[in-house]
Structure 1
Amino acid sequence: MKGKMKLSAMAIALAWLLFMDSTRAATVSSPSPSPAPAPAPDYVNLTELLSVAGPFHLFLEKLESTKVIDTFQNQANNTDQGITIFAPKDKAFSSLKKPSLSNLTSDQLKSLMLYHAIPEYYSLADFKNLSQQGPTSTFAGGLYALNFTDNKGSVSLDSGWSQTLISSSVYSTRPVALYQVDSVLLPEAIFGKAPPPAPAPAPAPDTFTPADVSPSGSQENPFSPKSSPSTSANAAASRPVAMTALFSPVVALVHLLLVAGGVVVL
């Protein structure tokens, strides 16, 4: 009986040791859970976005004709930096008379389109710091830079040829920021220096007024002396004296004749 009890105790101990070894082995061999992968950025179809917003039809047409839309799309969805695009509305293109875009070569037009984006995502709040960093390079390269000015949240862009404002934020979720601007961005690298402002018009010549004409219809001679009121008054006062001096001899002669005639009659 005692032998059976010893065998049972040994069997229990052996089973406990085997159980502990298996538990320890399972604990060592089980891999630790890997961290969850970071969510991929949302895919943004720029062609669809520009087709719906805006209207940016003319801008999109030029992006597609120059294949720049492919460059922008790749930057938006295959890089960590993202992209910031400045899109002029159709009216900005249709109202542009000088300089004309019709005279640009295909390479110049492509550079012009690349000039409308920065290879990094910027929210509206980021432009305050960006404005303090000086010129910012665009997709077109170092010669095609933009200057930003943030005035209490109102952001303006200076291309060297002209200035324009960001009039609205169309889309701003990393990795894509799309902003509407009021004018086409014209780089100096293509169009040269901006023309100087037109001179102020010359003042109009003095016009003639009715007050310059005498009542008789003839204009006064500016070189003739003008009579003063005192001179006119003196002339008027001298007329009776002159008339008296003229008629005094006549009256004396008549009186003499009458006297002579009376003597003859007597």
Structure 2
Amino acid sequence: MRLSLNKTQTFNQIENQLNSSSEGMTIFAPTDNAFNNLKAGALNGLSQQQQVQLLQYHMLSKFYSLSNLCWLVTPSFTQASGHEGVWGLNFTGQSNQVNVSTGLVEVQINNPLRQDFPLAVYPIDKVLLPEELFGVNRTIASPPPPATSSGKSNSSETAAAEPSPGKNSAGGRNVALGSIVGLGLVCMGIIS
């Protein structure tokens, strides 16, 4: 599976937002290691719409400096929010030490890759997994594990979205969302 900014039209959305809005944009860009640390196959079952939502979940439709992120009302609406509800991120911290949480994942936001209006890009060491896609009642849930003779399911199986220290599947390693850091560089060329 490959999440592509062009295939999902997300690049066009970012470009339009930067060119037509006075609000700017903030992007959280998972590193390649963030994707490698996902459980194998965690992203393979996403539909095209869910791929778009995952990409949009890493974006805020306003420019925020690192020090301003901890002052946001949480949950803060992401680009994935819409008629299906609020897909929010929670921010905690102070000054230049800020954490972002989805309810499933929490990660520290470190030094910005870019923090010049209208675009802020922050590399992060984990993929932000929205509960709407990866929580207990996720829409892409696989069939439940077979019941044992005692009627209990195998508790050693975990949700596909749980991070693990192992490598992701070959298809998952090619996920282009990790390249969103490169997108920040491309966007700098667009707005410069």
Give the alignment's TM-score, normalised by structure 2.
0.65
1:98-247 equivalences in 2 (<5 Å): 100-130=42-72, 133-141=73-81, 142-151=85-94, 153-193=96-136
Conserved? CA contact 1:136–1:146, under 8 Å: yes
Q: Which amino acid aligns with 2:113?
A: V
Q: Show structure 1 runs of 4+ deviating over 4 A.
A: none
Residue ranges of structure 1 left out of the alignment (5+ in a row): 1-57, 199-266
1:95 CA displacement = 2.1
Cα offset for 1:127?
A: 1.6
RMSD of aligned C-alpha atoms? 2.4
Provide the rounded CA distance (Å) in 2 between the counterparts of 1:121 and 1:71.
15
Letter in 2 for 1:159: T
Deviations 1:32-57 (A, max 9, x none): xxxxxxxxxxxxxxxxxxxxxxxxxx
Provide TM-score, normalisation by structure 1.
Answer: 0.47
One-letter code of the match for 1:161? Answer: L
Q: Which residue of 1 aligns with 2:36?
A: 94
Q: Which runs of 5+ in 2 are unaligned?
A: 138-155, 157-192
Cα separation, 2, equivalents of 1:94 and 1:65 = 22
Q: What do residues 208-230 of structure 1 show as CA deviations (whole Å, max 9, x unaligned)?
A: xxxxxxxxxxxxxxxxxxxxxxx
**8 Å CA contact 2:58, 2:128 repeated in 1:** yes
Alignment check: 8 A CA contact 1:160 1:193 kept: no
Alignment correspondent of 1:218? none
Structure 2 SS opposite 1:69: helix
In the TM superposition, what is the alpha-carbon distance from 1:164 to its structure 2 partner? 1.0
| Cα 1:156–1:99 shift into 2, 3 Å | farther
Aligned residues: 136
Q: Distance in 2 between matches of 1:81 and 1:164?
A: 25
* Shift in CA distance, 156/80, structure 1 to aligned 2, threshold 3 Å: same
Partner of 2:186: none
Give the structure with the higher percent helix. Answer: 1
Deviation at 1:170, TM superposition (A): 0.3
Same amino acid, percent of matched pairs: 36
